[in-house]
Amino acid sequence: MLESGQNGKGISVTRKVALSLLRGASAVVLAASISTAAQQAFARQDAGPLPPADKTTQEQPAQQPQGARNSAQAPPAQNGQATEPAGQTPAGQSQTAQQPEKKPDEQPKENPDASKQQPKRILGVMPNFRAVTAGTIPPPPTPKQSFILATENSFDYSSFIFVGFTSAFAEWTDAHKQLGQGMTGYGRYYWRGLVDKTDGNYLVLFALPTIFHQDERYYARGKGGFWRRLGYASTRIFVTPDYKGHDSFNASELLGRGIAQGISVLYYPSGSHTLGAISLKYGYALMRDSLTSVFREFWPDISTHVLHRHP
């Protein structure tokens, strides 16, 4: 009996190690795929066609002398009334009435490059609601906007699909033996995965940013070398803008993911309450968020220069 118990514990430890290795390997493969695709996009972008010639050098139409224009524009005098010289307004009328000033909302706005646009969904499936197109500076989010963002990321249809895959993988590797296997075990993994994702999103995207006055949207860089953009995207879990647009320590991300892991001990089996198990899940959550930011940063380049489609 003792030997059988030891063998069972050994198998459990082996499965947990296998689960950790598979997660790490999948993250490495994802990072390598993003790196390769982004490098191909940069290579094709550098070899792209030259920009069209500047049209400002085209021949301008001949201009008429000032006197000729004035004489051509001035209407003939009628009933003995003298005409006003061309280019002048009649007495009693102000030029401001003829040329009203543009309102602030009518001023021309900068249009970012279409190839750098961040879509709401990547490949029509993956939610990309947090991304802000390079060169765009929106106002700070209100608490209501942050709440909506957290809700969209938590209850989008793709979230249920993603949790379905991760729950199936956890059940297959028997990550928590006490949850069992088969459809019953899968259901236990599934609702716990949904709670993990939901409370993490509301903490990181809504509750803590509202307290710390931080903006947890991802502001794409969109320019610069590959390694510079890679370093920028991968470190957004540590740095985020505040409501004034200044870079600040990303307490919302780091503290929010930690609180979520602390809450998870309330509904996971006692075997996962160890410091090592919690630390492993915490590191996995941060690594996932970092790789997601990298994918967001390079997706417009991959879509335009590799897939030859609009982002």
pLDDT tens-digit profile of 121-139? Answer: 998 889 999 999 999 999 9
Does residue 306 fall inside a structural domain? Answer: yes
Report yes or no on 101 lying in a domain.
no
Identify whether 295 is part of a domain.
yes
Residues 200-210: tens digit of each pLDDT: 999 999 999 99
pLDDT at position 31, please?
Answer: 53
Lowest mean per-residue pLDDT among 82-86, 160-164, 194-198, 291-295? 82-86
Contact indicator for 286, 256 with CB cutoff of 8 Å: no
The backbone torsions φ and ψ at residue 219, rounded to the nearest 5 degrees and listed phi first, read -95, 105
Q: How many CB atoms lie within 10 A of CB 8?
A: 11
- How many separate domains does the chain show? 1
| Domain enclosing residue 245, as ranges | 127-133+141-311
- 197 inside domain: yes
Mean pLDDT of 48-74: 45
Sign of CA dihedral 7, 8, 10, 14: positive
Q: Which residue has the higher pLDDT, 57 or 136?
A: 136
Asked if residue 173 lies in contact with residue 18, where contact means CB atoms within 8 angstroms, the answer is: yes
The count of C-alpha atoms lying within 13 angstroms of the C-alpha of 28, restricted to the half-sphere facing its C-beta, is 6
Q: Is residue 22 part of a domain?
A: no
Report if residue 51 sits inside a domain: no
Residue 233, in any domain of the structure: yes
Predicted structure pTM score: 0.66
The answer to the question of residue 24 being in a domain is no
Q: Which residues lie closer than 8 Å to 101 by C-beta, 6 or more apart?
A: none
